[in-house]
Structures are given as structure tokens and as C-alpha cells.
Amino acid sequence: MAVVTIVGAGVIGVSWARLFGGAGWEVRVSDPRPDLREVVARELAGLDVTATEDLAAAATGADFVQEAGPERTDVKERIFATLAAHTRDGVVLASSSSSLVPSVIAQGNPAADRIVVGHPFNPPELMPLVEVVPGPRSSAAAVDRAVEVYRELGKLPVRLRKEIPGFVGNRLQKVFNDQAAYLVQQGIIDVRDLDDLVRASLGLRWATIGPFQSGTLGGGPAGMRHLVEHVGSQLTFETGSPDPAGMGEVLDAVEAAYGTGEEAYRRLAALRDRRTRGALAPLDWPEPRTADAEGGRK
């Protein structure tokens, strides 16, 4: 049985552990938190999971490592130094980082050739995407192995050609979220209506086809070029930027709309997960890269 070491027992780490465990891997979860065993017993019941605060012991003999620790460079450098010292050559050391690039995480690390970013969207057990981001010293073999593992887990691994802070998914998300906050600040729309608008339009559209494919269809038989040269040529307005000083009011509005605390979190997470599961099967995830589905791409 293949062995995976999950570093970090927060929301992302637990979800990774559930995904790997459900796929038949032996899972080792390592985290210094004092309630580690209680978390594992509660969240990962029924799976082959071992909990330990000793990262070196958890890493020894592992076939793959998925780190999901704090988003701090100094912490990740310490974690990956331990992982490098206690894993054999060829074992991929993947970080779930949302923004830190591999070259920063791997700085001074003797196993830099084995370090990549495997950035999921939350929750990893449900969302198909994993961005696989190589650093300048990441080996092709490590990137290939990471892609292979994620694909075997039923994910859609997308390999970036080179590293960039925030990668692709979060850069797109940041631009979108900034505009959403700006529109709320300007009194154009409220929080709930904006969410409904996105769910009933762009969210639904982009769940079925991406923005470039959507543009191809939006232009009719003449394709995206026609859309850009006609409708697109009239979209000359300035989009504006949110006022950082006014973000407190936006956050107040979000909390008023959806609540905070453990009960609200579990209620919203259950709603998200139920809807996500309901959408995945009809959308054929993981999607096969066929000529019919991808316009000739295999």
C-alpha cells in the first residue's frame, strides 16, 4: 500500500487526508497541534490514518508528501528541511501553498529538485483542480510524478509552465474578488445579490466551459475574434478598484449575510459540499481530454 504523509491537520490537510485515504493510501498526518488525535478521530474515522506530532517519523518511508501547513515562508522552510532529510530520493514533496512559489519554499533545500507546489481549490477532496507549479530547480520527474498522483486521485492536474506568485487560479480570483468588493462599496449591489448573480451567470457558465471557450461560442460561427472586435470593442469603461480603508464595511456586510462561528461554518460548508457533489457527476469530472471535448486536444 502506498504511503502519503500529510503535513498539517487544518481544513486543507484533513481534506487531503480524506481524499488519499478514500483512494486506498495509508495516510500519516503530522501536526504539532495538541488536539491532533481528536481531530483525526473525528474527521477521518474509518480510514487508515496514523496521527503523530513527529514529522520526521511521519515522513520516513513515505511515497508522497502533501504539505498543508501555515502560509509562512519560515515555517515552510523548516518543514521542508525535515522532509528532505527523512524521505528517500524520488519522493515528491508537494506544498498546498496558495501563493508562495516553489523557489522560495525550496531555498537552500538539498531536495529542491523534488519540491513542487500542488495547489488545490478548497476542499481538495471535492474540487477537481490541482495546480502543479514547478520551481526553477524542480525536476521534470517530480512534476510528472505529482501530475500522475493527482490524476490517480481523480483530480484534474493543470501543469503551469513556470512559477508566478499566486499561480493562476488565485490571480484570477483576486481580480474577480477585488471587483466584487468595489461594486459593493459603490452601492451598486449587495453581498447576497452579487453572489446570486455570479451563481446564475458566470459561475454556471464557467463550470461548463472556460472563458476562452465561452468567448469562442460568444462570437458565433466567426469565433472569439468576432466577439472581441464587435461587442468587446464597446467595453471601454474603467472597472475601478476597491478602497482598502472601506473593506471593514464589506466584511461586516458579508458577516451579516452569512454569519460567523462554528455553526455557520458547518452549515455553509455542508451546503457547498452538497451542491458541489451534485454538480460534479453531470459535468463529467474528472473530464477526459478527448478530441470531442477539447476541440482536438488530447
Residues with a known catalytic role:
131
Q: Give residue 72's identity as a one-letter amino acid code.
A: R
Q: Give residue 281's identity as a one-letter amino acid code.
A: A
CA dist., res. 116 & res. 109, Å (int): 12
Q: DSSP string of 211-227?
A: HHHHHHHHTGGG-HHHH
Q: Do 191 and 254 touch, CB atoms closer than 8 A?
A: yes
* Phi, psi torsion values for 117, nearest 5 degrees: -100, 130
- Closest by CA to 48, choosing from 34, 63, 67, 27, is 27
Grid coordinates representing 238 are 474603467
Grid coordinates representing 34 are 495538541
Residue 148 CA neighbour count, 13 Å, CB half: 10
SS3 51: strand
SS3 114: helix
Question: In Å, how far are 2, 85, 174, 220, 248 from 263, measured between CA atoms?
Answer: 36, 41, 27, 47, 22
For residue 162, with 0-12 CB atoms within 10 Å meaning exposed, 13-18 middle and 19 or more buried, which class applies? exposed
